[in-house]
Amino acid sequence: MRSFTQLFVILSCLVLAACSSSEKRLEELTEREYYEQAREAMDDNNFLIASERLQQLESLYPFGDYAEQAQLELIYTQHMMSDMESALASAERFIRLHPQHEQVDYAYYMRGLSVYELGFSFVERYTPAEQARRDPTAFRDAFNYFDELVRRYPDSRYNEDAQKRMIFLRDRLAQYEIGVARFYMKRHAYLAAAQRAERVMLGFQGTSMVADALALQVEAYRLLGQDFEAQQALALLQLNYPKHEQLTAKGKFIDSGLTQEDRRTLIGVMSFGLIE
């Protein structure tokens, strides 16, 4: 028993000594060695180690030759680890500290990309039907961030991707507006529905939602008794989107049926549909 205890003590001392030696060696690394270790880890797709080395480099050598590059690559490693909150914070910090840096456009791009990714949830990625119901704030912010990149740095190599994402984001924001307009139609708030559709007409031209906005206007204005406005919207729908699902082959308008949905009584709502 005594020999076992002695052996355990010896092994514990060896482990502690090894840890102490390892920590000491890590603290004695030069700035370049930290950076090289980070790059090697990135090449091996070990972004956790890369992130740790980059943060250690910046902490120990905040004004060194590799400090600014380490800050940029830290944004990348955090993004690759799907730590979008940290990537966003690091990108904003770089923009704030180095507004004239020759690669600051990368930080602007990664800021937009991080917020873009934050706009998605796991559920939404696999249930497209829920997309229009999502809070559009993150997508609106991402659009504005990409727009700032394109305006500030028109020659940036990241603009092509940013502009493609902006097209998608405009369509998503238009989907949200149409989703709200349909909700108003279900609640018989026809004027509010028509106004939401108008927002799509004015602010999201070129998106896939313009046709649905016109169809909503036709229906909402008819229900409001505003025949002139309804006919105007119908004429535009027939002219520009003759194959819309709410038009027959002869151009006759078909009601959506939205006003017949969710017509539950208060008792029905309170009883979760058990009593109507």
Asked if residue 15 is part of any domain, the answer here is: no
Asked if residue 146 is part of any domain, the answer here is: yes
Asked if residue 237 is part of any domain, the answer here is: yes
Question: How confident is the model over 1-5, as a mean pLDDT?
Answer: 48
Q: How many domains is the chain built from?
A: 3
- Whether 93 and 75 share a structural domain: no
β partners of residue 247:
253
Asked if residue 132 is part of any domain, the answer here is: yes
- Whether 67 and 47 share a structural domain: yes
At 261 the three-state DSSP class reads: coil
- What is residue 249's DSSP assignment? T
- Whether 205 and 145 share a structural domain: no
Confidence of residue 120 (pLDDT cuts 50, 70, 90): confident
- Are residues 95 and 111 in contact, defined by beta-carbon separation less than 8 angstroms? yes
Picking from 37-41, 232-236, 272-276, which range would have the lowest pLDDT averaged per residue?
272-276
- Whether 200 and 267 share a structural domain: yes
User: Is the pLDDT reported for residue 133 higher than 50?
Assistant: yes
- pTM score: 0.79
Q: List, in order, residues 6 or more apart from 32 with CB less than 8 Å away.
A: 65, 66
Asked if residue 150 is part of any domain, the answer here is: yes
Asked if residue 227 is part of any domain, the answer here is: yes
- Whether 93 and 104 share a structural domain: yes
- Whether 99 and 126 share a structural domain: yes
pLDDT in tens, 134-168: 678 999 999 999 999 999 999 999 999 999 999 99
Query: For residue 136, what are the domain limits?
Result: 82-157
- Whether 199 and 275 share a structural domain: yes
Q: How far is it, in rounded angstroms, from Cα 255 to Cα 247?
A: 9
Asked if residue 7 is part of any domain, the answer here is: no
